[in-house]
Structure 1
Amino acid sequence: MFRIVATLARGAAAQACEDLADRHALPLLDQQIREAAAALDGSRRALAAALVQERTDADRHAALAARLADLEERAVAALRGNRDDLAGEAAEAIAGIEAEIRDLDAARAAFSREVAALRRTVREGARQIAELERGRRIAQAAEAARRLRDRRGAALPGTEAALAEAQATLRRLRERQAAEAACADALAAIEAEAGADVADRLEAAGFGRRTRPDRDGVMARLRARAAA
């Protein structure tokens, strides 16, 4: 029985942890991204220091190679001048420099491999953080949409009925306004027709400017053209 109770307690604790992580998933993701970015920044600084060391080793190698070439030239000159003692001292120094160059070459080769690996780590880390940032923005937008749906679903009782009543009122208002506009258009048309009828009767009686062609007007136009 004790084992069952202990197992249930561990299960409840694990479930509670999962529920807590789910409820705070976005803040948790933000913190994890910040920690990963801080670690990546440390890797970048380490890479920068490694590149500086690599250049320092290259400069040292070049200096040793120049010193070696100078000593060899002087040793050959000493041999030509029958100064085997000085040539021997130069040979001993040359051997030491060659050993130092050999050790430095081995160290530089190993260090170059480490720098290459560090470059790959920084490049991959930057890519993964960029992907996490994109995923975080998408998740944030989805969470905002979910909260909006939850708020809409948790509307106060009666909200839907009130919205339906408001929509019905708006519909009736639009219908009344449309009917009033139709009546106004009809009245305007009637008034226009009445005004046109009066104008036509006045024109037929010979008052005012003629707006319609008649026989006398057409004949006058034709005679003018014939005379021209």
Structure 2
Amino acid sequence: MLRIFATLARGAAARACEDVLDQHALPLLEQQIREAAAALDGSRRALAQAMAQQGADAKREAGLRDRLADLETRAVAALAGGREDLAGEAAEAIAALEADLASLAEARAAFDREVEALRRTVQEGGRQLAELERGRRLAEAGEAVRRLRVRRGEGAPGAGPALAEAQATLRRLREKQAQEAAVAEAMTILDAAQPACIAERLEEAGFGPRTRPNAASVMERLRAKAAGAPAAS
């Protein structure tokens, strides 16, 4: 029984750890990418230093070869001039230079292989880092979309019924407003069809006697009164 409880505890701990990783996956990925970028930058600096050393070794080898060629020329001239003693000393120096050149060439070959391996590692690291950065941007965009959906209620527990109820309420409100607008329009049409309203419209058009005074009729009445009034002395 204790073993079962211990197994359950380990399972719960592993699940909790996975939940934490899931909740903080994006910040964790960003930090891991930053660390990988820092490590890659260090590798690039190391590669640059190694390439600089390659250049220095090449210059050293070229210098040794120049000295070797110069000594050989001088040794041949000494032999031609009958100075075998000097030619012998030159031969010893040439032998030492050739040994140095052989050792340097061997060391350079090994170093060049290491530099080439480091170069491939840096190139591959750069490619992988670029892929990780693209993946991070996609993950960040996906997380933004997920947060937007959560804010809109999609995927949230109980959000489906709440959204459906809200949409139904809005639909009922719009239907009620449309119905009230239709009723108001119908009332306007009915009012216009009433006899009194039709008579007013005919009167305004000049058909039949005028039932309501207007400015023109008032002016006619005033002119008539003015014509019949006695002149002032």
TM over 0.5: yes
Q: CA deviation at 1:165?
A: 3.3
Q: CA deviation at 1:5?
A: 3.1
Change (3 A) 1:161 1:89: same
CA deviation vs aligned residue, 1:174-209 (integer Å, no higher than 9, x gap)? 7849x96xx9xxxxxxxxxxxxxxxxxxxxxxxxxx
For the pair 1:165 / 2:183, whether they are aligned, the reply is no
Partner of 1:6: 6
* Corresponding pairs, count: 185
Partner of 1:223: none
CA deviation vs aligned residue, 1:14-52 (integer Å, no higher than 9, x gap)? 222111111100001001111111110011000000000
Measured in 2, the distance between the counterparts of 1:120 and 1:77 equals 49
Measured in 1, the distance between the counterparts of 2:134 and 2:100 equals 50
Q: CA deviation at 1:156?
A: 10
Q: CA deviation at 1:168?
A: 4.4
Measured in 2, the distance between the counterparts of 1:75 and 1:39 equals 53
Measured in 2, the distance between the counterparts of 1:122 and 1:87 equals 50
Partner of 1:62: 62
For the pair 1:81 / 2:81, whether they are aligned, the reply is yes
Q: CA deviation at 1:65?
A: 0.4
Partner of 1:222: none
Q: CA deviation at 1:172?
A: 5.9
Q: Which has the larger radius of gyration?
A: 2
Partner of 1:37: 37
Measured in 2, the distance between the counterparts of 1:88 and 1:14 equals 80
Measured in 2, the distance between the counterparts of 1:133 and 1:142 equals 14
Letter paired with 2:11: G
For 1:103-114, list aligned pairs within 5 A.
Answer: 103-114=103-114
Letter paired with 2:41: D
Q: CA deviation at 1:171?
A: 5.7
Higher relative contact order, chain-length normalized (CA < 8 Å, sep 6+): 1
Partner of 1:115: 115
TM-score of the aligned structures, taking structure 2 as reference length: 0.70
Other structure's SS at 1:82 match? coil
Measured in 1, the distance between the counterparts of 2:79 and 2:176 equals 119
Letter paired with 2:113: R
5+ residue gaps in structure 1? 184-228
Partner of 2:193: none
Letter paired with 1:57: D
Measured in 2, the distance between the counterparts of 1:163 and 1:102 equals 86
Partner of 1:199: none
Letter paired with 1:103: S
* Percent identity between the two aligned chains: 66
5+ residue gaps in structure 2? 189-233
Measured in 1, the distance between the counterparts of 2:119 and 2:55 equals 16
Partner of 1:193: none
Change (3 A) 1:169 1:9: closer
Change (3 A) 1:157 1:102: same
